[in-house]
Amino acid sequence: MIYIHVPFCKSFCTYCDFYSETRVCEAGLYARDVIAEAQARREEILATSALDTIYIGGGTPSVLPPDVLKSIVNALPLQGKEEFTIEVNPEDIVTRGESYVKELLAMGVSRISMGVQSLDDALLRWMGRRHDSARTIQAATIIREAGVKNLSLDVIYGISYLGDETLASTLEGILALRPEHISAYQLSIESGSALARMVEDGRYTEADEEQCRRQYLLICQRLREAGYRHYEISNWALPGFEAVHNSAYWKRLPYVGLGPGAHSLRIGRAAAAKDGKSGYEQENSEKEAGGWEEVQVRSWNSETLSGWTAESETLNKEQIREEEIMLGLRTAEGTDIDGRRVKLSEEDWFIADSIIVNYL
């Protein structure tokens, strides 16, 4: 199970604080480093192959030249991928055309996630998006005609400038495209983003809680009526099209993140202190040391375009349990707490942060 972070964008969105670079000319050097990292972590990757998925996110992966992307994919030690997702921008799809999408399918891509965000052109310009609503429709048509059978579209709500009628119109336009999957995210003010500076300067005022709640529940209602299953707090799918890769995150299955800014989660066993030493080990031959218990190590790469390094932390039992509860409550299945199954309603999901804290 692999996540690959592509740190390139042609321009920066108003709300985004993810690590990204506009220097797409350095894509070849980036690919070299990702391939080297994949080779160095080959055994770690193979240890996660029980769930054979790849997710390429960003940034904007669709800005990578196809030959660069192909070189990365060919270097990954996975076969027969259960799900292979790549994120794309509508403008890149329209510019490169159907032949580009077919190249993605030839590489093994089985699922495309496209950042639509809105079908209101004024709002798209405010967000700093490169596409408009017409290009979104055109891109979706190209993707379908190329033979893609699993398309996911993203929407943003909770923008103070976004009226309920405009949101409803966007939803109707997206539903007309009949994607297999829809993700909806509330706009948040992220430190370091252009939007955060706009708030500081008094050029933007956040939407109030009532507007955000109303719009979230509007999305829930419209998608439910259209036959989509609300399987996670921000995600809806037609039956059988729930995201395999992302669902594994919420179940806390191990995965390997490659590239700058990527995160990983590995599960192994920690030896009890011996001769003043302790640490993360996987070799069966060393388990006779005694005092072994399962540990989970979360790691992340530094945000530099070349020569990134990894940092990590080992989770204790309390942290593991807190994450299990927090992530479980995000899903329709819920989680077990003190011997009982706890699930949140859609109303509760809107205030999930405070609900989850209360359970902890």
What's the CA dihedral at 72, 76, 260, 232 to 10 degrees? Answer: 110
Question: Pick from 250, 280, 303: which residue ends a domain?
Answer: 250
**pLDDT for position 62:** 95
Instruction: For the sheet with 53-58, list strands across it.
Output: 229-232, 235-237, 181-186, 151-157, 111-117, 83-88, 53-58, 2-6, 256-258
Domain final position from 193, 215, 250: 250
The residues near 261 (Cβ < 8 Å, ≥ 6 apart) are 5, 7, 18, 19, 300, 301, 303
- Answer yes or no: are the C-beta atoms of 145 and 198 closer than 8 Å: no
Same domain, 320 and 192: no
- The domain in which residue 359 lies consists of 316-360
Last residue of a domain, one of 250, 268, 291: 250
29 lies in the same domain as 139? yes
- Asked if the structure places residue 72 within a domain, the reply is yes
Give tens-digit pLDDT for 155-184. Answer: 999 999 999 999 999 999 999 999 999 999
10 to 60, 99, 258: CA distances (angstroms): 8, 21, 21
335 lies in a domain? yes
Residues 152, 232 within the same domain? yes
Q: Report d(CA 237, CA 183) in Å as an integer.
A: 9
Query: Could you tell me if residue 255 is inside a domain?
Result: no
Q: Quote the tokens at residue 232.
A: 């996670």
pLDDT at 282 over 50: no
**Torsion angle of C-alpha atoms 279, 280, 285, 288, degrees rounded to 10:** 50
The answer to whether residues 228 and 109 belong to one domain is: yes
Which CATH number covers residue 110?
A: 3.20.20.70
Number of domains the chain contains: 2
Full DSSP string of 313-337:
EEE-HHHHHHHHHHHHHTBTT-EEE
Strands, DSSP E only, in 72-147? Answer: 83-88, 111-117
Tell me what the pLDDT averaged over the chain comes to: 87
The pLDDT tens digits for 191-239 are 888 888 888 999 989 999 999 999 999 999 999 999 999 999 999 999 9
The pLDDT assigned to 87 comes to 97
